[in-house]
Amino acid sequence: MSGSIDLRFNVQPGGALTGRLRVPGDKSISHRSIMLGSLAQGVTEVSGFLEGEDSLATLSAFRAMGVQIEGPDAGKVKIQGVGLHGLQAPADNLYLGNSGTSMRLMSGLLSGQSFNTTLTGDVSLSGRPMNRVVEPLMSMGAAIEATTGGTAPLQVQGGRQLSGIDYVMPVASAQVKSSLLLAGLYASGTTCVSEPAPTRDHTERMLSGMGYSLQRQADRVCLQGGGTLRGIAIDIPADISSAAFFLVGASIAPGSELVLEHVGMNPTRTGIINILQRMGADITLLNERDVGSEPVADLLVRSAQLRGIDIPPELVPLAIDEFPVVFVAAACAQGRTVLTGAAELRVKESDRIQVMADGLQALGVDAQPTAEGMVIEGGKIGGGCVDSHGDHRIAMAFSMAALRANADIEITDCANVNTSFPGFVDQAHRMGLAIRTG
């Protein structure tokens, strides 16, 4: 939860979304550009970097470990790589704010260093589970101490000799996979990770782009320790997770026609598009192209009557961050939408199943939470007050719900929207959402 003075969103009902918009850069790729650029030999030049609080926390942490980083300036960052063994001990704990990606990935990367580090975060991050990365890292020889509840702060002991492992993840998680691969850079032998379902593969793509050899099969990736990374140019596409709010908003608001520019279309991230199209959304991909190692496209979305669906289990890990706004789409759809197999939503920045159910119910929607998902009967959305619990994606999702509401929606505890989407209110207002802060 945010420690800032309560920031509220006040959104008036109705309206349509029209025009052209490029949402901020992809958060996942922004994190990885700083981490791998710092470990590379030579200079990495980044454009499209997300200047949000989460990715800036990663940038600050690597500066604290002696990496020279220029920017960000209008999304441009220049990183003077220090090589795999060039990081220096920070003078203090590394504070990572609200960023679970930073903490989980860096726990693997730091396990291979010669110095000790302590990773801390805000109240929300300090309540999120870390044993999912700590335990497999310790099986590689890492020494990491968490709290008795398996949460931050994490104390990572340096000077350990890591050994590669062959790890089968019990739950699909790109953060766990990436953490182990980053530790594997420092391990003797081969590190392999197998996943039960596809997850985002930005780490693998960037490693390959920087010249590091990987062996990839359908559900398995392996690498040998002891290689080198070379600095490259990285053009970060717009974040599909941020675009998702406007995809849903334009779908549910009559009269909407919106183009979202330069959106990352990594196939491990496009679950939101597949789900919305199954619900009847009118989304067209334009100008498909590759930018570096990542596919991108412009997305044309027009308003459409959505219908409720049973969300296919195989799409769940491909849209795990987008479900708050998917729930809003379901509330506007004709019929019932059922989500199962998404227990991971309960250990995000908030319990996104319960918090979204509470908020939808406060707006008069029939939304019934289950252990691993939700059942939503589409219908009318009323006005009211919703508590986002300091969760950026909850706040932005309920902002879009106002497009179909019959009265004002007030959303509390919205300061953390800046972790992933600085400028959200201004951009949403410019596209046609009647939103203001209070």
Residue positions annotated with a catalytic role: 321
End-to-end CA distance of the chain: 18
**Segments in 68-227 forming alpha helices (H):** 100-110, 131-139, 174-184, 202-209
* Residues 63 and 73 sit within 8 Å (Cβ to Cβ): no
**18-21 β-sheet, strand order:** 18-21, 257-264, 294-302, 282-291
Report the C-alpha gap between 239 and 296 in whole angstroms.
Answer: 10
Report the C-alpha gap between 96 and 122 in whole angstroms.
Answer: 8
> CA triplet 353, 359, 360: central angle to 5 degrees?
90
Q: Please, is 405 exposed, middle or buried when counting C-beta atoms within 10 Å of its C-beta (0-12, 13-18, 19+)?
A: buried
Closest to 18 measured CA to CA, from 261, 263, 242, 302: 302
Which amino acid is located at 178 in the chain? S
CA dist 284 → 16, 91, 247, 256, 296 (Å): 18, 50, 11, 14, 13
Report the C-alpha gap between 58 and 113 in whole angstroms.
Answer: 17
* One-character DSSP codes across 307-340: B--BPPGGGSTTSGGGHHHHHHHHHHSBSEEEE-
Closest to 329 measured CA to CA, from 280, 363, 265: 280
